Amino acid sequence: MKARGLQAFRARQIWDWVWKKGVVSYDAMTNLSKDLRAELAAELPVTGLSVETVRKSKRDGTAKALLATREDRHIEAVAMPDEESGRLSICVSTQIGCAMGCRFCASTVGGLKGSLTSTEIVDQVLLMSEIAGERASNVVLMGMGEPLANYENSLAAVKRMNSAEELGIGARHITLSTVGLVDEMARLADEWPPVKLAVSLHAPNDDLRRRLIPIARKYTITEILEVASGYADRTSRHFTVEYILIAGLNAARKHAEELAARLRRLPAKANLIAMNPGGAGDYAAPSEGRVKAFRDVLAERGIETTIRKRRGTDIEAACGQLRLRQAE
């Protein structure tokens, strides 16, 4: 504003429009002149992403967007309203594609195309909040990519989400999901705000996990759970073990018993997720009864367990599905 010969307070007006009111278009900034709004729109876009496609579920209100970077690469983000709590959770991507190679996940198809900047990660929250028509109360880094493989940008984005000057979302309302990069996980307690930690385990033993997740050849389940437990102890919060249930592969009673033995006495909760279609492998979800039976085994052994509600199944809301259908 100073460079344009204008009053410095104009900068605060623009800042407040974006971060306090969630506005992503200069057209809505009515206390700025029309000419200034036009100039800013041309020279300094509010976000570095553009919305290409939006799908909204008629079943549960979930909205999924296909977003394009300035380099015309495509990512996905999801807004998930909860009528009971009145909260809006937004799932963001941290990379374009993914290099982890998990065989059940559509995000890995085509490999890794690049990593997002911290601004592009934060921009997803702004854009999805506008699409949903309300401010985000929770953010989960569970979209495309491995957040800890894009460590510095993911960290910078989370700090901005948490900052009172920007999104102002409390650390306990931000969740980092990782496939289990042990070296990076060991840095979390010292370098990150005390966000919630979710570990994508998906198998109760290393042999089975290596069949599903190539990175499992580098880190064992014991190593992952040990460093996750250390983070939980230092932040005084439980961590969550995410477990995708795949029919005929990891959803039998023996797998539930083995997982319960792994988690017993750890500061951990389990979150069970029925398989979504779209990965490289020919996998399918188990029956609802099998999912509940798996949960019951864990619960009987003292493991706090939830079954994740399947959201947006009518709009291909699972990671990577929409991108595969409509973009690269």
| Span 37-83, pLDDT tens digits | 999 999 999 999 999 999 999 888 999 999 999 999 999 999 999 98
Residue 266 DSSP SS3: coil
Distances (CA, A) of 103 to 136, 234, 283, 316: 31, 33, 9, 18
236 Cβ contact partners less than 8 Å away, ≥ 6 residues apart: none
Would the pLDDT of 171 be above 50? yes
Report the CATH architecture of 6-46. Orthogonal Bundle (1.10)
Would the pLDDT of 282 be above 80? no
Q: At what angle do helices 288-300 and 253-263 cross, to 10 degrees?
A: 30
Would the pLDDT of 251 be above 50? yes
Mean pLDDT score, 180-189: 98
Residue 257, CB-side half-sphere exposure with 13 Å CA sphere = 3
Q: What is the pLDDT of residue 280?
A: 54
Mean pLDDT score, 221-225: 98
Nearest CA to 310 out of 290, 288, 278, 280 is that of: 288
Would the pLDDT of 243 be above 90? yes
pTM: 0.92
Q: What is the pLDDT of residue 310?
A: 67
d(CA 88, CA 224): 30
User: Of the residues 39, 52, 76, 242, which is catalytic?
Assistant: 76
Nearest CA to 139 out of 168, 98, 100 is that of: 168
- The average confidence (pLDDT) of the chain is 92
pLDDT band at residue 328 under the 50/70/90 scheme: very low
d(CA 37, CA 94): 30
pLDDT band at residue 293 under the 50/70/90 scheme: very high
| CB neighbourhood size of 40 (10 A) | 18
Would the pLDDT of 322 be above 80? no
- The class that CATH gives domain 47-326 is alpha beta
Q: What is the pLDDT of residue 320?
A: 47
Would the pLDDT of 327 be above 90? no
Residue 319 annotated among the catalytic residues of the structure:
yes
Residue 102 annotated among the catalytic residues of the structure:
no
| Span 28-39, pLDDT tens digits | 999 999 999 999
User: Of the residues 120, 300, 319, 328, which is catalytic?
Assistant: 319
Q: What is the pLDDT of residue 98?
A: 95
d(CA 193, CA 171): 6
Residues paired with residue 242 on neighbouring β-strands, in sequence order: 200, 271
Would the pLDDT of 315 be above 70? no
Q: What is the pLDDT of residue 59?
A: 86
d(CA 251, CA 286): 7
Q: What is the pLDDT of residue 179?
A: 97
Q: What is the pLDDT of residue 279?
A: 55
Q: What is the pLDDT of residue 313?
A: 55
CATH topology agreement for domains 6-46 and 47-326:
no
Determine the straight-line distance between the first and last CA of the chain, rounded to whole angstroms: 39
Backbone angles phi, psi at 309, to 5 degrees: -65, 130
| Span 139-158, pLDDT tens digits | 999 999 999 999 999 999 99
Domain map (residue ranges) of the chain: 6-46, 47-326
| Span 86-132, pLDDT tens digits | 899 999 999 999 999 998 888 888 899 999 999 999 999 999 999 99
> Percentage of residues in the chain with pLDDT exceeding 90?
82
Q: What is the pLDDT of residue 106?
A: 85
